[in-house]
Chain A
Amino acid sequence: MTPLVALRGIDKSFAGIHALSGVSFDVRPGEVHAMVGENGAGKSTLMRVMGGELRPDAGSVEVGGEAVRLTGPTDAIRRGISIIHQEMALAPDLSVAENIFLGELPARIGWGRLNTQAKELIARLGFDISPRATVSDLSVAHQQVVEIAKALSRRARVIVFDEPTAVLSMGDAKRLLEIIRGLRREGVGIVYISHRLDEIYAIADRISVLKDGRNVDTVTPDAVPVDQLIRMMVGRPLSQLFGEKPHTTVGEELLRVENLALPNGVAGVSFSLRRGEVVGLGGLVGSGRTEVARAIFGADPISSGTITLRGENYRPRSPKQAVRHGIALVPEDRKGQGVVLDLAIRKNATMANTGPVTRLGFFSGGKERSVVRGLIDDLRIKLGDMGDPVSSLSGGNQQKVVLAKWFHAGGDVVILDEPTRGVDVGAKTEIYSLIHRMAAEGKAVLVISSEHAELFGLCDRVLVMGEGRLRGELLPPDYSEENLLMLSMTSGAEERARA
């Protein structure tokens, strides 16, 4: 059977880093082809190529057996490829019908006909949603139905679902799988990306595994059991990046979090950090790791739970308070939250603690320069001039500026969220040794990372989150990516069985 869409030998690099190397993937009519892989394996990049958002550096895209060159998302849609994105792309203030037919509204709109057509499309999916309803008033599940109806209205022959159930309740997720089965019966080709392996086993006809931007294999669910699939996703040797972990003595408890709950659904998170410890916080993106970090840092509100800092009750209301209490956060989005790109390196480095370099609110230029010079030498930041904007630095050196900022601020509870994302290998190793050094200096360090190898290489123990809950803790003897994924991805019952 000719595939509806086939990607062959796709290469794609960003700034010299290979996101995809020779990846092939196809979808046949009337099948659900699932794609799995760790964060950063290249799934989203591949889908963006299929959806015409990215142009591949090499390789070919075939639609209906014919090589094409997709010029953009509109072109892909016209050729029958629709992507249901994780963040939905609906206009929240328009009606259901308007959203469904957005982009192909006739010049003279016959509302009656449009509404009827919208209703029919939605009915085809087994739902009853008023076409006149405003989209922002709908539940997330119903919004997703509108998205799918929109794809159908464009006569999509291939629909890509990117983590569709991540935002849905259990019941809604089941109904979505029903919709997908219905589409399959109609001969639509489905690409299904998900981290939830139980869903994939329930619905997929074929499963493709992607790792580090390469095809691992394409299998059928009945031929490969779950644990083998997970091994295919992760099986990579621990690299020797991490250096020798210095022997540090673990001291008194600095931070204790009990039953932390946040407005966004994170709940029941309890753990503690002691001096001299490097603790990992693992789990998939979206499992609530970053949210926990931001809450402890006072950047987001806390709904309930208690935090004890150096034996005293602590309830941060702002990052300012957190910094005063000696907590530091290296945020995951370096450019958006870690540095002020247009501002000089020197000014970024002293921002969190201007006291020592100012008098009566005015900077003493000489003192500031000598302090920053010290930090630059200490952290081996490679730069032209400390007066240059941070944007002139490489990713790794930008991150070192963020670390310098917190070294200078001098907190003893340090939270690092994806500290080596977008950082080259050399700088990675240096950042790891800085993390070890913090611990050796008696700080308590919490490292959030999606790179499991990094967690195991760096940390004394690893806390694992999944779907807003702390699912468990791994100690070095149990360090394996399979264990970590098993804890993070499987639902509560299995987890209790394992524990």
Chain B
Amino acid sequence: MTDNAAGYGQSVTREAAPRRFQFGKLFRQFGTFAIFLILLGLASLQSDAFLTERNIMNILRQHAGTGIMAVGMLYVILTRGIDLSVGSISALGAVVTAVLVQDYPLPVALLMVVGIGAACGAVSGFLVAFLRLPAFVVTLAMMTAARGMALILSNGQPIMLGEPGAALSVFGTAFPLGVPAPALLMFGVFALAFIVLNFSRFGRLVKAIGSNEEAVRLSGISVGWYVMAVYVISGALAAIAGIVVTSRSGVGSASVGDGAELDVIAAVVIGGASLMGGRGGVLNTFLGVLILGIIGNIMNLAGVPGYHQQVYLGVIIVVAVVLQHASHILRRR
């Protein structure tokens, strides 16, 4: 018997499909930027108050904490993980900052705070990387525990920075070069994260691990240390976000960053990162943070009540993600 007697199936297509206009790919690369531009346009049409220097700086200042945490979250998500503990670690950072500045010189106190955040991340990271526990569960536990520690340390009361922390308060309210200092710090963190992710061995392997951990391991790389490291980074950055919030408000409170982890994840996802790992970028995450900030800001300017805002935000996140996945959704048709 030889080849292909005619039958109902005919022969399979052998040539690759012709290169069509790849809407999906294009959108993955520039989609976030497009959403950002559209929102920017809508916002400026919607309210004259939007495109004022004061308002823009305000958005940046308010979202500096979210932005800093989003960098850590991006790294974690690139490895196919998730970190639910960032909001709580930022609260712990805020409280510890207010406590430590009373007794220690400011730089020492701040280093200790960052160290505590990193330590929290190291615990989660160890459990995820080496004991292979699910990141969701581990960081959920850390989320509860860190919030609890913040409450214990502060006795449930906000702690005033007071005179010893005056220098920190100056940072929180300063406008060097006409830009809020916390926003400058956020820019710095994003810039550093961009360089590390795109040009360092560490950044490359983090991305590679998220896309195919086994292939990386079989290239002779200790995957575990890299996975642990991203949680350490995320914890440290969350603590820094806590410092920033404290510097702005002048008090360290255990209620800081309540639910922040969801905003942070939303920002990263709006920025086009894939929760399946391996896909996502620093610039797009930055845009994701800005998009989140602008949406909230427009609705505030338009006088949309807070509860309604949450519903709209949910809808907008879904729309953003649907657009990111447009290629898959279309192909399934």
Residue numbers of A with Cβ under 8 A of B are 9, 11, 13-16, 18, 21-24, 55-60, 69, 214-215, 297, 299, 318-320, 322-324, 329, 331, 336-343, 347, 351-352, 354, 358, 361-363, 365, 405, 409
In the complex, what residue of chain B is closest to A354 when comparing beta carbons? B201
* Most A CB within 10 A of own CB, among B12, B207, B212: B212
Q: Which residue of B lies closest to A322 (CB)?
A: B220
Chain A residues closer than 8 Å to B207, beta-carbon distance: 343
Are A347 and B214 interface neighbours, CB within 8 A? no
Q: Answer whether residue B217 sits at the interface, using C-beta atoms and an 8 A cutoff.
A: yes
**By the criterion CB–CB under 8 Å, are A57 and B4 in contact?**
yes
The residue that B202 contacts in the complex, of A297, A329, A340, A361, with Cβ under 8 A, is: A361
Contact: A361 with B220, CB < 8 Å?
A: no
Nearest chain A residue, comparing its CB with the CB of B1: A22
Known: A22-B2, A342-B279, A361-B202. A57 touches B219 (CB 8 A): no
Select one of B1, B3, B201, B217 contacting A299, CB under 8 A. Answer: B217
| B201 neighbours in A (Cβ, 8 Å) | 354, 358, 361-363
B307 CB within 8 Å of chain A = no
Chain B residues with a Cβ under 8 A of chain A: 1-12, 14, 199-202, 204-205, 207-208, 211-212, 214-222, 278-279
Say whether A343 contacts B218, CB under 8 Å: no
Give A21 to B211 CA distance when docked, in angstroms. 37
Question: Which residues of chain B come closer than 8 Å to A338, judged between CB atoms?
Answer: 215, 218
| Residues in chain A near residue B212, CB distance under 8 A | 336-337, 339-343
- Beta-carbon contact of B208 and A319 below 8 Å: no
Q: Give Cα A361–Cα B196 distance, bound, in whole angstroms.
A: 9
B4 near A343: Cβ-Cβ < 8 Å: no
Query: What 5 new A-B contacts, CB under 8 Å, besides A57-B12, A58-B9, A361-B201?
Result: A21-B3, A320-B222, A339-B215, A343-B212, A365-B199
CB pair B1 A56 closer than 8 Å? no
B14 and A16 contact, CB distance less than 8 A: yes
Taking a contact as CB atoms under 8 Å apart, the answer to whether B1 and A319 are in contact is: no
> Which residues on the B side are within 8 Å of A329 (C-beta)?
218
A347 contact set on B, CB distance < 8 A = 204, 208
What 7 A-B pairs are tightest by C-beta distance, nearest first?
A323-B220, A58-B7, A22-B1, A57-B9, A352-B219, A16-B14, A340-B212
In the bound assembly, the distance between CA atoms of A343 and B201 in angstroms comes to: 13
Report whether A58 and B220 are in contact in the complex, using a CB–CB cutoff of 8 Å.
no
Q: Say yes or no: A352 contacts B215, CB within 8 Å.
A: no
Q: Which residues of B contact A299 (CB under 8 A)?
A: 217-218
Name 17 interchain pairs, CB-CB below 8 A, sorted by A: A11-B7, A16-B14, A57-B10, A58-B8, A69-B8, A320-B220, A320-B222, A322-B220, A331-B218, A341-B211, A341-B212, A342-B278, A351-B216, A358-B201, A361-B200, A361-B201, A363-B204
CB-CB under 8 A from B211, the residues of chain A are: 340-343
Interface contact B204-A21, CB-CB below 8 Å:
no
The interface centre, meaning the residue of B2, B4, B6, B215 with most chain A CB atoms within 10 A of its CB, is B215
For the residues of B in contact with A, the DSSP-based class is: loop
CB pair B5–A59 under 8 Å, yes or no, is yes
> If the complex has contacts A58-B9, A336-B215, A339-B212, are A214 and B220 also in contact, measured as CB distance less than 8 A?
no
Q: With the chains together, A18 CA to B6 CA distance in Å?
A: 15
In the complex, what distance in Å separates the CA atom of A185 from the CA atom of B1? 34
Looking across the interface, which residue of chain B has its beta carbon closest to that of A59?
Answer: B7
Contact of B216 among A9, A16, A340, A362 (CB under 8 A): A340
Cα distance A214–B205 in the bound complex, in angstroms: 45
Residues of B within 8 A of A15 (CB): 14
Residues of A within 8 A of B3 (CB): 11, 18, 21-22
Residue of A nearest to B204 (CB): A347
Let me know if B218 and A56 touch, CB within 8 A: no
- Once the chains are docked, how many angstroms separate the CA of A407 from the CA of B179? 51
Closest to B220 in A: A323
Contact indicator A362/B200 (Cβ below 8 Å): yes
> What separation, in Å, do the CA atoms of A342 and B200 have in the docked complex?
18
Residues of A within 8 A of B11 (CB): 11, 13, 57-58
Q: How far is the CB of B219 from chain A (nearest CB, A)?
A: 4
In whole angstroms, what is the CA distance A405 to B204 when docked?
16
- B5, B215, B219, B222 — which one has the most chain A CB atoms within 10 A of its CB? B219
What residues of A have a CB within 8 angstroms of the CB of B9 in the complex? Answer: 11, 55-58
List residues of chain A with CB within 8 A of the CB of B204.
Answer: 343, 347, 363
Tell me the minimal C-beta distance from A26 to chain B in angstroms: 15
> Complex Cα distance A214/B3, Å?
10
Complex contacts, B2 vs chain A, CB 8 Å = 21-22
Instruction: Choose among A18, A21, A319 the residue that contacts B219 (Cβ–Cβ < 8 A).
Output: A319
User: What residues on B are CB-neighbors of A24 within 8 Å?
Assistant: 1
CB-CB < 8 A to A322: which residues of B?
220
CB of B208 within 8 A of CB of A337, answer: no
- B1 contacts A214, C-beta separation under 8 Å: yes
Residues in A neighbouring B4, C-beta threshold 8 A:
11, 21-22, 57-58
Least distance between A219 CB and chain B CB atoms (Å): 17
- Chain B's closest residue to A339 (CB) is B215
Bound CA–CA A218/B6 (angstroms): 24
Q: Name the CB-closest residue of A to B207.
A: A343
Instruction: Please name all residues of chain A whose beta carbon is closer than 8 Å to the beta carbon of B214 when the two chains form the complex.
Output: 336-337
Q: Closest CB of chain B to A357's CB: distance in Å?
A: 9
Closest to B211 in A: A342
CB-CB under 8 A from A362, the residues of chain B are: 199-201
CA distance A331 to B278 in the complex (A): 21
Contact check, B5 vs A58: say whether CB atoms are below 8 A apart: yes
A252 to B201, CA, bound (A): 36
Which of chain A's residues has its CB closest to B225's CB? A320
Contact of B221 among A56, A351, A363 (CB under 8 A): A351
CA distance A11 to B1 in the complex (A): 11
Q: Which residues of B contact A59 (CB under 8 A)?
A: 5, 7
Contact status B5-A352, CB under 8 Å? no
Taking a contact as CB atoms closer than 8 A, the residue among A56, A354, A365 that contacts B7 in the complex is A56
- Residues on the B chain within 8 Å of A55, using CB: 9
CB proximity of A317 to chain B, nearest CB, Å:
11
Contact in complex: A318, B12 (CB < 8 Å): no
**Docked pose: A338 CA to B215 CA in angstroms:** 5
Q: Find chain B residues with CB under 8 A from A16 CB.
A: 12, 14
